Amino acid sequence: MLKQTIQIATTEALKSKDSFVVGTLRMLLASVQAKEKEKKFKEKIEGEAQLTDEQILETISSEIKKRKDAIALYTQGNRPELADREKKEIEVLIKYLPAQLSTEDIKKLVAESIASTGAASIKDMGKVMADLSPKVKGKADGGEVSKIVKELLAQ
């Protein structure tokens, strides 16, 4: 399970005295635990609530998105040292996501979805995104996918 992999990596980073990786992975584990508590509360589960690997991947993607947003703000605020730290954290977190799709692969998937849904204009973007979401979940940035869908539907 992905959570165990992250815990093992945290232990290894502790042993190698890599405090930056330890801090980043602990932050990720804290986020996962918060999601587990939230799930336990929402679903009224007795005992421990475990997240699936897919839910953990969503959490990792969410943390990466937070870092990207912070980078933009730090860059705007002229704080390059903090932006660099966020970039390094993203590098650590990306290791736990599946291989990311290239732009060309995304374009192929978008074209297939447009053909299968019969989308003709930008108004049909919702149909295309609904068809695409399960195919690209965790493998591509949603903003990039959305941008490509808009480009191809506008043609």
List of domains in the chain: 2-94 (1.10.1510.10), 103-154 (1.10.10.410)
Specify the amino acid at residue 10: T
Longest dimension (CA), the chain: 56
For residue 123, what pLDDT is reported?
87
pTM of the model: 0.79
What pLDDT does 76 receive?
95
Task: Give the model's pLDDT for residue 34.
Answer: 93
Q: What's residue 19's pLDDT?
A: 94
Angle between helices 53-76 and 80-94 (to 10 degrees): 160
Separation between Cα atoms, residue 70 and residue 55, nearest integer Å: 23
Give me the pLDDT at residue 119, please.
Answer: 83
| Higher per-residue pLDDT: 98 or 67 | 67
CA distance linking residue 29 with residue 131, whole number of Å:
31
| Rounded average pLDDT over 10-35 | 95
Residue 80 predicted with pLDDT over 90: yes
Provide the pLDDT confidence category of residue 141 given band limits of 50, 70 and 90. confident
How confident is residue 11, by pLDDT bands cut at 50, 70 and 90?
very high
Q: Is the pLDDT of residue 47 over 80?
A: no
